[in-house]
Chain A
Amino acid sequence: MSLRLSSPESNLKAPMRALTVPDFAARIMTASPPKTPGYSLKTLAGMPTSLSLLLLLACAAQPVFSYPQFQQFSEKHSGRPVDCAMCHSNESGPQGTGEGQIGSLDAEAMKRLNKARAAMEPQSDVNSPILNSFGNEIIRTLGKRKVLECMANPAKLAEFLGEKKDLDEDGIPDGQEFLDGTDPTNKFHGDPWKLFVANLNKYKAHVILAVLAIFALDFGFAHILKGMTVAMKTRSVGKDLHGTP
């Protein structure tokens, strides 16, 4: 009997799921860059029905993929399961109608999404609703063009992010967290050894105080016990002298 509920492969497949037909049709119509997640059906409004139907039919036959290269690389490099939540708002990726997915976006959020998609160069003001703080930081720091370049060699992403970016301020650079397959937005998650070294350095004053307090307590206890022993002996000697049982 196997107690495993799912295999690691099942997780890998999740982000490679084909876009929904309306998503893909809408994406083509708005002329977004290739291999980017699609738009909602809302953008189809106003298009000629025949054109829409043609596009829908054409797209239905072609599965379109998200960016699984980064996830697969991180997973392989670290040996840890990694999901889309490393960069995306939703752990299942940008497609769908759940929270932080394209299907649930309103007009204002779509505007922000389009702005993020157009941010080909670094240092743009990006706040994509389908990305989390790490995903947005990547686009902000590198620009979309560089991210697309990294797809062939995802290890470059860590290199481009550098040693200084540390969103969660846990002492481990974001690029390193990408390589380690840990959460770059959670300061309580990281490679245990690296966290140990970083936090020991950060909390050295606390550790020194704890050492001093424990030694002081131990010293105090030793003297209390010594005093109690002396008191017990004195009492027993007194009893012997007075002949009491």
Chain B
Amino acid sequence: MSISWLRTTVESTKKAGEDGRAKPGKLIDFLTERFPTDKMNFHSMLEKKEVPVHSMSWGYYTGGLTLFFFLIQVVTGLLLLFYYQPTVSDAYMSVEYITKYVSAGALIRNMHAWSSSGMILFALVHLLTAFAMKSFEKPRELTWLAGVLLLFITFTFGFTGYLLPWNQIAVNATKVGLQSMEDVGQYLPGALSEVPRILRETFQGEASVGQSTLGRFYALHVVILPLCLLGLLGLHLLQVQLHGMSQGADERPRAQEKFFPIFFFKDLSLWAGVFLIFFVLALTVPFESFLPYPLLAPYNPLGATPAGIKPEWYFYFVYYPLELLPFWVILLTSMAAVVVLFLTPWIFRGTSRKTLKFLSLIATAYLVIMTVFGQRIYDLLKGGG
């Protein structure tokens, strides 16, 4: 019924436009341009599609790699589901069981951990290169918006997955994260100030991080977030295939290569190479070996909080500034950054690629410095270490 209503509306609007009585709405214009039905076929989306070859061509591979890591996450995550128990009494033991007794359990778990980092790393690189290449230009605004949402979902995957092993660092870091969420409330006006508290209570589910929290994070991690991600990923990929690769550089492309099979094969070969690297890493370096062992002990609700509780490396760019600067400064900066990210296609519409590249390099430098040297900067400024 709703479809027939929509069809009638579109047809009547079109007819009205043809008659000269009224023009079709701007929204319909916008959507028609972003979803060109004449291009929704195998020929346009695959056979005809070409990829420009220039100095920034490597940027076209970053999105594919992010997708590849997501696929590894799905496969390894499904295998982990066979054994993982989302209860506070069994979660830790089930993870131990997977690691120590299940055939290839340690490898699968390690692949899951390593590729989660890979997924976030390449999602960030993809965002920064897409920004530098001005890939958000008309008609690719929806591709950009879907991409930004996908990045946030990826970070949420990291946050929710961190709690599942139910060890000291998992629970304590989640407590800190949820507390930070609630702290936002004091800076919001009126009724809005209650929203972060309500959100925290919703995610936490009880007075402290416990069974309800674990259940909810588990549901988010394995059902809700994957469904959201799949929907947005579908939209993102459809847009990429409909509009093709963006120009990407100011220079004239050296050549145009066929998406299928040339670029597709190169993409697959790169996936194979990256898989090999991550397979060797997962086989040889347990992801948890980077953490102090007291943080890997089962969570003890009666014990003192152990030293060195930190979030995963991909949150360092927020974590260290939070440690060093007043909360409201970080809050304002983060909110501004989020708004700019969502409005990028409109804010930077007239900006040259040279400027965008420069801005992207600054953002990259900030992320690298905070991730790699964050602890040293903290020690230097706080007089620790």
Which chain A residues have a beta carbon within 8 Å of chain B's beta carbons? Answer: 1-11, 14, 80-83, 85-86, 91-92, 181-183, 186, 188-192, 195-196, 199-200, 203, 206-207, 210-211, 214-215, 217-218, 221-222, 225-226, 228-229, 232
Chain B CB within 10 A, most for which of A86, A188, A196, A215:
A188
Q: Among the listed stretches B6-14, B55-63, B299-307, which one makes contact with chain A, having 4 or more residues with CB under 8 Å of it?
A: B299-307
Question: A91, A183, A200, A226: which contacts B284 (Cβ < 8 A)?
Answer: A200
Closest to B324 in A: A2
- Given that A182-B293, A200-B280 are contacting pairs, would A3 and B307 also be in contact in the complex, using a CB cutoff of 8 Å? no
- Given that A91-B297, A182-B293 are contacting pairs, would A83 and B306 also be in contact in the complex, using a CB cutoff of 8 Å? yes
Tell me, in angstroms, the Cα distance from A128 to B72 when the chains sit together. Answer: 45
A-chain residues with CB within 8 Å of residue B268 when the two chains form the complex: 218, 221
**Residues A232 and B289 in contact, CB atoms below 8 Å apart:** no
- Given that A183-B293, A210-B279 are contacting pairs, would A6 and B264 also be in contact in the complex, using a CB cutoff of 8 Å? no
Shortest CB distance B316–A (Å):
12
Question: A1, A7, A92, A206: which contacts B322 (Cβ < 8 A)?
Answer: A1
Check: B209 CB closer than 8 A to any chain A CB.
no
**Residues A10 and B288 in contact, CB atoms below 8 Å apart:** no
Check: B35 CB closer than 8 A to any chain A CB.
no
Q: A5-B305, A225-B261 are in contact. List 15 more A-B contacts (CB 8 A).
A: A1-B327, A3-B179, A3-B180, A5-B176, A6-B304, A6-B306, A11-B306, A11-B307, A81-B294, A81-B306, A83-B294, A91-B303, A183-B296, A189-B296, A210-B276
- Given that A183-B293, A210-B276 are contacting pairs, would A192 and B307 also be in contact in the complex, using a CB cutoff of 8 Å? no
**Interface residues of B, dominant DSSP:** helix
**Residues A188 and B286 in contact, CB atoms below 8 Å apart:** yes
**Residues A188 and B307 in contact, CB atoms below 8 Å apart:** no
Q: Mark B35-55, 1 if CB is under 8 A from A, else 0.
A: 000000000000100000000
Check: B265 CB closer than 8 A to any chain A CB.
yes
Closest to B177 in A: A3
Tell me, in angstroms, the Cα distance from A131 to B110 when the chains sit together. Answer: 30
Count residues on chain B whose CB falls below 8 Å from chain A CBs. Answer: 47
**Residues A81 and B284 in contact, CB atoms below 8 Å apart:** no
**Residues B283 and A188 in contact, CB atoms below 8 Å apart:** no
Shortest CB distance A244–B (Å):
14
Tell me, in angstroms, the Cα distance from A85 to B293 when the chains sit together. Answer: 9
29 contacts between A and B (CB under 8 A): A3-B179, A3-B319, A3-B322, A3-B323, A6-B307, A81-B292, A81-B308, A85-B293, A85-B297, A182-B293, A183-B293, A188-B99, A188-B106, A189-B288, A189-B296, A192-B285, A196-B285, A203-B283, A207-B280, A207-B283, A210-B276, A210-B279, A211-B276, A214-B272, A217-B272, A225-B260, A225-B264, A226-B261, A229-B260
Check: B218 CB closer than 8 A to any chain A CB.
no
Tell me, in angstroms, the Cα distance from A199 to B284 when the chains sit together. Answer: 5
Tell me, in angstroms, the Cα distance from A226 to B265 when the chains sit together. Answer: 10
B-chain residues with CB within 8 Å of residue A225 when the two chains form the complex: 260-261, 264-265
Tell me, in angstroms, the Cα distance from A190 to B287 when the chains sit together. Answer: 10
- Given that A4-B309, A8-B308, A217-B272 are contacting pairs, would A210 and B292 also be in contact in the complex, using a CB cutoff of 8 Å? no
**Residues A195 and B286 in contact, CB atoms below 8 Å apart:** yes
Shortest CB distance B109–A (Å):
9
**Residues A8 and B283 in contact, CB atoms below 8 Å apart:** no
Check: B135 CB closer than 8 A to any chain A CB.
no
Q: List 10 tightest A-B contacts by C-beta distance, closest first.
A: A199-B284, A225-B261, A183-B293, A5-B305, A188-B286, A83-B294, A8-B307, A81-B292, A11-B307, A1-B327
Check: B256 CB closer than 8 A to any chain A CB.
no
Closest to A191 in B: B289
Tell me, in angstroms, the Cα distance from A119 to B292 when the chains sit together. Answer: 31
- Given that A6-B307, A217-B272, A228-B261 are contacting pairs, would A195 and B284 also be in contact in the complex, using a CB cutoff of 8 Å? yes
Check: B269 CB closer than 8 A to any chain A CB.
yes
**Residues B183 and A1 in contact, CB atoms below 8 Å apart:** yes
- Given that A199-B285, A210-B279, A225-B264 are contacting pairs, would A91 and B323 also be in contact in the complex, using a CB cutoff of 8 Å? no
Tell me, in angstroms, the Cα distance from A210 to B276 when the chains sit together. Answer: 7
Closest to B309 in A: A5
**Residues A229 and B261 in contact, CB atoms below 8 Å apart:** yes
Tell me, in angstroms, the Cα distance from A200 to B99 when the chains sit together. Answer: 18
Tell me, in angstroms, the Cα distance from A136 to B289 when the chains sit together. Answer: 24
A-chain residues with CB within 8 Å of residue B5 when the two chains form the complex: none
B-chain residues with CB within 8 Å of residue A11 when the two chains form the complex: 294, 306-307
Shortest CB distance B111–A (Å):
12
**Residues A189 and B284 in contact, CB atoms below 8 Å apart:** no
